[in-house]
Each structure stands twice: as structure tokens, then as C-alpha cells.
């Protein structure tokens, strides 16, 4: 349903078009160039369209938010790995 809302396509009668199993959308409508199966990923729903300035601004904001989140996630993973390694490192005795 999120795809249908994002795409803004209507059927002949004016009802919202619902994509079927065989429906496809161009990679250009995804931030990273392909769809994601992760509901928390920016590319779970296509977000790049040329509707108007407001939608472009919202898309830019979403892209920036996604990039910031990716950086924070990477830093957290690196910190957790450093912590894990430091805990597992053998302690040496100075006696």
C-alpha cells in the first residue's frame, strides 16, 4: 500500500492503483538504485519522483536522514566490535 501512495498512480475510475505481483518500477526511483526488503530501509518504498518542489524537498530530507542513520549505525557496530575484541583480549601479567 505504501508503494501505491508513493507512486500516486490512479486507475481509470480514479481509484488508487495497487501494484500486482508482476509490477515493476525503475531503479531511478530508489535512493540506492534498488528496492529493499527491510521495512526500516529508505528504499523499502520508492521515494524519488518529480511531482513538485515539496516532494523533492521531502525526498532530500529522507535521503539525508538515511545517510546520517547509516553513519551512526556503522559507528555503533565498530564500537561494539572494538569492545568485544578488548574484552576477549588476553590479559598479560607484569609479575
42 contacts 61 by C-beta, under 8 angstroms? no
With a cut of 80, say whether residue 84 has pLDDT above it. yes
Instruction: With cut-offs at 50, 70 and 90, classify the pLDDT of residue 80.
Output: very high
Would the pLDDT of 38 be above 70?
yes
pLDDT (tens digit per residue) in 20-33: 888 777 777 778 88
Q: Is the pLDDT of residue 95 over 60?
A: no
- Here the cell at position 15 is 481509484
Q: Is the pLDDT of residue 52 over 70?
A: no
> Who has greater pLDDT, 83 or 29?
83
DSSP string of 3-30? HHHHHT-B-TTSPBP---TT----GGGS
- d(Cα 78, Cα 41) in Å, to the nearest integer? 20
pTM, 2 dp:
0.40
* pLDDT, average across residues 30-49: 80
- Domain positions in the chain: 2-88
Q: What average pLDDT does range 3-22 have in this prediction?
A: 77
Amino acid at each position: 500500500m505504501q508503494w501505491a501512495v508513493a507512486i500516486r498512480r490512479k486507475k481509470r475510475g480514479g481509484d488508487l492503483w495497487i501494484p500486482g505481483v508482476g509490477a515493476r518500477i525503475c531503479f531511478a526511483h530508489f535512493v540506492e538504485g534498488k528496492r529493499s526488503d527491510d521495512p526500516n530501509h529508505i528504499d523499502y518504498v520508492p521515494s524519488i519522483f518529480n511531482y513538485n518542489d515539496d516532494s523533492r524537498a521531502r525526498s532530500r530530507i529522507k535521503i539525508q536522514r538515511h545517510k546520517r542513520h547509516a553513519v551512526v549505525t556503522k559507528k555503533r557496530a565498530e564500537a561494539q566490535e572494538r569492545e568485544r575484541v578488548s574484552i576477549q583480549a588476553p590479559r598479560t601479567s607484569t609479575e
